[in-house]
Amino acid sequence: MRNRSYALLTGLLMFLVGGFVLASSPVINDQAALNGLKTGKGVFLVDIGDAAKLNFYLEVIQGTHEGMRSQGVEPDFVLVYIGPSVKYLTTSPSEAADEAAGGLLLEIEANVGKLAALGVRQEICAVATRVFGVDNGTVLPGLTLVGDGFISLIGYQMQGYPLVPVF
């Protein structure tokens, strides 16, 4: 009986101490940066040649999108894919790109789709597709082919979208 009482008392004390620790934990948010914003614009320059890193950042950007929403700011994101990133954004990757991706191509495709479902505009640069040998007819669904990714970046910045470089 004494051991049971001791265990019950110990459990109660741990519960109370845990509650105080949680209650005293600082709130982690971005309110200083988001102060007064209704919409959070950003144009992400995605220039990544490593498939694992590309996939990682596509997931991080989804989290950023959710983080803004959870803090009361409506995200308005555009991703512009340039450079070697485009090798992994096709339904018909080269053998070398497929091998370099190490089995991540389906995850990358799924993450592109998830971003599209969130309403994130995603553009792929035709200069990069030409340079990296990607057939424009095979770019992933959810991507819009544009003539020049740099022109898109300049245009979006002039429209008030701050640049978010992702390398």
Asked if 93 and 101 count as a contact pair (C-beta separation under 8 A), the reply is: yes
Residue 49's Cβ-count burial label (10 Å; 0-12, 13-18, 19+) is middle
Reading the chain (167 residues) residue by residue, the pLDDT tens digits are 555 555 444 444 445 445 544 556 789 999 999 999 999 999 999 999 999 999 999 999 999 999 999 999 999 999 999 999 999 999 999 999 999 999 999 999 999 999 999 999 999 999 999 999 999 999 999 999 999 999 999 999 999 999 999 99
Instruction: Give the pLDDT of residue 21.
Output: 47
Terminal Cα distance for the chain, rounded: 63
* DSSP H helical ranges for 71-145: 95-101, 105-117, 126-131
The arrangement of secondary structure in 32-166, i.e. its CATH architecture, is 3-Layer(aba) Sandwich (3.40)
Smallest CA-to-CA distance from 64 within 120, 121, 123, 144 is with 120
Residue 103's Cβ-count burial label (10 Å; 0-12, 13-18, 19+) is exposed
Query: What's this model's pTM, rounded to 2 decimal places?
Result: 0.85
Distance of alpha carbon 62 from alpha carbon 111, whole angstroms: 8
**Domain spans in the chain, listed from the N-terminal domain onward:** 32-166
Question: In one letter, which amino acid is 139?
Answer: V
Distance of alpha carbon 145 from alpha carbon 167, whole angstroms: 20
